[in-house]
Amino acid sequence: MIRPLRLIRLAVLAMVAALLIAPPAAAHDVRAGADLRIAQTIAGAELTLVIKATTRVPGPLRVEVIGFPAAPALDLRLRSMTGGGVTRGTAAPGRPARLRAEETGPHELSVTAGGETTVIPFRVLVDRGSGWEFLIYGGLFTAGLLLVGGLLTGAFGRRGRSAFVVTAVAAAGLTVAALIVVLDPWLPAGPPDGAEPRPTDAPAGRPYVQRVITTVPARPAPGEEFVARVELFDGSTGRPVDDLAVHHEAMAHLVVTAEDGRYFRHVHPLRTAPGRLEVRLRAGPPGRYLTYVELERTDSGGQLLTGAFTVGGRDAADPGDGADGAGADVADADVAGDAGAGGTGTDAGNGTASGTGTGSGNGARSGKGAGSGSGAGATAPGDPEVPAAPAGTVTVTPAVPRAGRPATVEVATAGTPLPWLGMAGHLIVRSADGGFLGHVHEMGTPGARLRFTFGFPVPGRYLAWAQYATGRGITTVPFTVEVPR
């Protein structure tokens, strides 16, 4: 005789086994029912495209634009990579585009503004429903059927082993259905319609990406617009790499700094061809510039690719004469103890930048004690940010950070930061020689401040830039930290 408890145990064990063999979900996969957010630097604007989730196809596909602080009107073109169908629309902040998706699967969204075009590959996914629903309804149906059978058996006076077995199986069905209903939020979902088949030939991930980083022109002059180009190649085949995952709401993050720290950009290049990323910038003072590209390949980990280029010619003003010239692109305020030092700058060309505390600003007269430096000018066209809000304060704890030990960096902000790239704030740290670049995110501190935890790896001088978004745009707070030996 099969006992009811044994049937229940067998049902529970079968469900646990199904959970154990279910495939794991990738951390950066785009899920059905979730919006896809991609940051782009296009036509001199920093913006985020939001491709809204769709619940059915054929059906509408909504595309929204978030500008920091504003963005131009965007011409959109959606093309199915399987059926070839095309639909067009126009979007701007506050005016979403309503496109139409005729089928699931791979699509390309072309975005054009200011003579620039980016092509964003993505997949239209539609949830086909949980595979566990079959067990829920199956268990309930079986239990109901057997309960009816048990009632009929009792009505006709047929008692004994058959009635006992009917009751046991009905109890097992109810138990399975109830457990799945309770555990449904934690059960792995099956692949949605339109999902890419999971690769089976590269369980350890894909090869590292190799890069060629160039500028057009090859040696831009100070104040000249140029294009920073990143070409990506598979390290094992030499073929273009065109399988980037969306990483922190962007296909790639490009950081460009002057070697001496007087210039800083954090932008999100456009995909102009398979394996090619480009962004238009305006050159700063002459000298050597360092580039860092953060990206993640699908089914692989993150990578940091580095490069360098040179801006030729002479500066428009001697940065040592105290003039408000192009040489003072980013303030350089040293942090001194808990009093700290801070400044607010702008990623956008020759915007105003200042620092308070101990130290001096690049391009301004040096000062000891409580001093400040500034470089005045107008926001350069073709760059994404706007002049920053009044200067904030940077506090580092402990007052004298030690190499290899965590330190807390707190930045006062001009108002409560808005989400940008999925975070309230970003801290980018570069060693003085450019050999190290760190990128850390805010810890979710409420109110008008940012708080980061970061461990400076080795003694030395570090250049740092804290960034956050407000209704006025992207604010950059530059400062330096000395880590003693």
* Predicted model pTM: 0.74
CATH number of 209-311: 2.60.40.1930
Separation of alpha carbons 103 and 58, rounded Å: 6
In sequence order, what are the residues at sequence separation of 6 or more whose Cβ sits closer than 8 angstroms to the Cβ of residue 467?
A: 266, 347, 420, 425, 426, 427, 428, 474, 475, 476, 477
In sequence order, what are the residues at sequence separation of 6 or more whose Cβ sits closer than 8 angstroms to the Cβ of residue 347?
A: 264, 265, 266, 267, 383, 384, 385, 467, 474, 476
DSSP-H helix ranges across 254-329: none
Dihedral-angle region of residue 133 (phi above 0 means left; psi in -120 to 50 means alpha; beta otherwise): alpha
State which H helix or E strand residue 410 sits in: strand 406-412
Predicted confidence at residue 113, as pLDDT, reads 97
Instruction: Compute, in degrees rounded to 10, the torsion defined by CA atoms 421, 427, 431, 435.
Output: -20
Separation of alpha carbons 35 and 339, rounded Å: 42
In the block, tokens 């319609």 appear at 193
State which H helix or E strand residue 169 sits in: helix 161-183
* 137, 180 contact by CB (below 8 A): no
Separation of alpha carbons 212 and 297, rounded Å: 17
CA of 204: how far to CAs of 50, 198, 247, 301, 305, in Å? 31, 13, 19, 10, 21
Q: Where are the domains of the chain?
A: 4-25+130-186, 36-124, 209-311, 342-483
Q: Which CATH superfamily is domain 342-483 in?
A: Macroglobulin (MG2) domain (2.60.40.1930)
Interval 193-211 mean pLDDT: 73
Q: Say which residue, 430 or 24, is predicted with more confidence.
A: 430
CATH number of 36-124: 2.60.40
In the block, tokens 């956050």 appear at 468
Model pLDDT for residues 414-427, shown as the tens digit of each residue: 888 999 999 999 99
Separation of alpha carbons 107 and 294, rounded Å: 24
In the block, tokens 């290049």 appear at 269
Separation of alpha carbons 439 and 447, rounded Å: 22
In 418-453, which positions are buried (b, 16+ CB within 10 angstroms) versus exposed (e)?
A: eebbebbbbbbbbbeebeebbbbbbeebeeebbbbe
In the block, tokens 């350069």 appear at 380
Half-sphere exposure of 238 (CA within 13 A, CB side): 0
Model pLDDT for residues 71-96, shown as the tens digit of each residue: 899 999 999 999 999 999 999 999 99
Predicted confidence at residue 174, as pLDDT, reads 64
The total of other beta-carbon atoms located within 10 Å of residue 461's CB is: 15
Per-residue pLDDT band for 301 (boundaries 50, 70, 90) equals confident
Q: Output the average pLDDT for the chain.
A: 77
Model pLDDT for residues 305-319, shown as the tens digit of each residue: 999 999 997 654 433
Dihedral-angle region of residue 416 (phi above 0 means left; psi in -120 to 50 means alpha; beta otherwise): beta
